[in-house]
Amino acid sequence: MSTALEQIEQEIAKLSSKAVKKNTGNIRTVADGVAKIDGLSDVMYNEMVQFPGGAIGIALNLEEDEVGCVVLGDVSLLKEGDEVTTTGKLLSVPVGKALLGRTVDALGKPVDGKGPIDSKETYPVEKIAPGIIVRKSVSQPLFTGIMAIDSMIPIGRGQRELIIGDRGTGKTTITIDTIINQAKINKVGLASGDKNFRPVYSIYVAVGQKQSNIVRTISALEDAGALEFTIIVAAPAADNPANQYLAPYSGAAMGEWFMENGMDALIVYDDLSKHAVAYRQISLILKRPSGREAYPGDVFYLHSRLLERAARLDGKGSLTALPIIETLAGDVSAYIPTNVISITDGQIFLETDLFNQGIRPAVSVGLSVSRVGSAAQIKATKQVGGKLKGELAQFRELAAFAQFGSDLDAKTKAQLDRGGRIVELFKQPAFAPLPIELQVAVLFAMQKGLFESVDIKRTVEAATSLKAFFTTRKDALLAEIRTKAALDKDLEAKLQAACDEWKPTFTA
């Protein structure tokens, strides 16, 4: 009781008798979530403005005698002539570990019905990306748990890797797998008591998606036990475009908190195509000049300033970004895809044809690239999977050639066989990421020709059996690979012995 009284007294003391200056304006028009305001002569770009009834807005268009604001909140309560005041503040969202396991909207307000979020800090939604001096090159791996990616298109902490493909090719699944894998690694790492272990916290930003899809994603994360390490920022398709435009920046602010406080975070933007569409809608309503495909001139800056906020900071943490772009009929040369391809440090391209052939994840190895490359790979993966990309490229070339004739020499047949087996080996079910040590073991077995006696169609079966063998019976060996992160002669011998032990258990 006395604390409450003290609080009130402190508030009263703060309110000095000095006059408080406010800058005001009046609504001239409100339409489609955008208000045009007369006055507000002191308003700054991106400043938060206060509407009557608790709604807030952001000043986006500063013109000679009117201000264009996007309204965040219920527009139906606003009318012509209503007074609007400046706040002198930039839009901020709550940040911190209190948000983990929660689903919030673009303003950081909980929407999951689990009660209020006890967050002590806020970060501005728009922030200038870290400069050159404070950055450090990407050299620590971020394991996705997807063998095709971890072995051939490695992602590092602080990298921006685009996931691009047509609808229904498994883009979201790859990101959910990655989030689940981070949670699995976190659990093992935190349980081990290793002081040098750095957990990766995840932020999943859903922009313009159906509510049912968001619920499905949340359930998948919950079922896998990954929600406790994840923040979901939801701006579904039914939300107004202003919220959809803001959501990725809000997510980035939440991720930056982890990065600034010496932790590692992963952020997924699902997806930036819909984000660009929301921004186009706002820009057209604000009557900004439109350019190619009716997008405004600063649509590149829209995404570059967002993705530049992902970084690895010297002496602090990192923020890894996995933006998603949806293409139409595999057209990667469209406006938004080319923009985001040029901003990011590589892309994972998913192909519909591969997906329909049953190759899942449908990663097109030829078109996918990680510009960070092997700098973000552990030595063990490099040792067993260093040549895989080249071998697969050769396989594809030969496979295309082999379509024209049936007479092939033994060497070509062997290469085709091996390529076919690698493709089969990389097939992986959804929401089942593989720990890196198990990936190393499987790839080691493949390099040593363990699957060559197995019929190609049964390669997946053989690999599953090998994985089960290692997980159930060679736990110590897997732990050794995990801690050493490189294969020395002793470890190679142990792996070979384990493979030899497994071979008779699987009947080809």
One residue of 17, 76, 196, 403 binding another protein per CB under 8 A: 17
Tell me the C-alpha distance between 254 and 46, whole Å: 19
- And the tokens for 309? 């906020």
Touching another protein, residues 218-257 (CB under 8 A): none
The span from the CA of 481 to the CA of 186, in Å, is 17
- The single-letter DSSP state of residue 188 is H
Token pair listed for 428: 């992986």
11 binds another protein (CB under 8 A): yes
Let me know: does 438 contact 468? Beta carbons within 8 Å: no
Binding mask 284-303 for another protein (x = CB under 8 A): ---x----------------
Indicate which single residue of 6, 9, 41, 228 sits in contact with another protein (rule: CB under 8 A): 41
Distance of closest approach, residue 293 Cβ to another protein, in angstroms? 20
Q: Residue 85 or residue 471: which is nearer to another protein going by CB?
A: 85
Verify binding: residue 38, another protein, rule CB under 8 A.
yes
Give the residue with the Cβ less far from another protein, 18 or 489: 18
Shortest separation between residue 103's beta carbon and another protein, angstroms = 27
Binding status of residue 24 toward another protein by CB under 8 A: yes
Q: For residues 473 and 477, what is the distance between their CA atoms, to the nearest angstrom?
A: 9
Q: Quick one: angle between helices 211-223 and 171-192, nearest 10?
A: 30
Footprint on residues 57-76 left by another protein (CB under 8 A): 64-65
> Is 5 near another protein (CB under 8 A)?
no
Kindly report the backbone phi and psi dihedral angles of residue 408, in degrees, each rounded to the nearest multiple of 5, phi listed first. -125, 145
* Spatial CA neighbour of 417 closest among 456, 449, 366, 463: 456
Q: Are strands 92-95 and 121-124 parallel, antiparallel or unpaired?
A: antiparallel
Which of residues 27, 40, 75, 362 is near another protein by CB under 8 A?
Answer: 40
Neighbours of 20 (CB within 10 A): 6
What b/e readout covers 166-177, taking b as 16+ CB neighbours within 10 angstroms?
beebbbbbbbbb
Q: Of the ranges 9-17, 152-160, 235-243, 444-452, which one interacts with another protein (CB under 8 A)?
A: 9-17
Residue 406 binds another protein (CB under 8 A):
no
> Binding residue for another protein (CB under 8 A) from 27, 30, 35, 39?
39
- Applying CB under 8 A, which of residues 2, 3, 5, 21 lies at the interface with another protein? 21
CA distance 357 to 344: 29
Among 1, 13, 19, 191, binds another protein (CB under 8 A): 19
Interacting residue with another protein among 2, 5, 14, 167 (CB under 8 A): 14
- Selected from 6, 22, 356, 432, the binder of another protein by CB under 8 A is 22
Helix (H, G, I), strand (E, B) or coil at 181: helix
Residue 167 bears catalytic tag: no
For residues 108 and 93, the answer to whether their CB atoms sit within 8 Å is yes
Catalytic residue among 102, 288, 292, 371: 371
**Per-residue mark of binding to another protein, 69-108 (x: CB under 8 A):** ----------------x-----------------------
Residue of 12, 31, 132, 329 that binds another protein (CB under 8 A): 12
* Shortest distance (Å) from residue 2 CB to another protein: 16
Rounded distance between C-alpha atoms, residue 283 and residue 297, angstroms: 10
Contact assessment for residue 142 and residue 200, using Cβ atoms and an 8 Å cutoff: yes
Do the Cβ atoms of 148 and 365 come closer than 8 Å? Answer: yes
Among the residue ranges 34-42, 140-148, 203-211, 473-481, the one whose residues contact another protein (CB under 8 A): 34-42
In which residue are the tokens 């609007």 written?
Answer: 84
Residues that bind another protein (CB under 8 A): 7-8, 11-12, 14-15, 17-25, 38-42, 64-65, 85, 287
Catalytically active residues, by annotation: 371
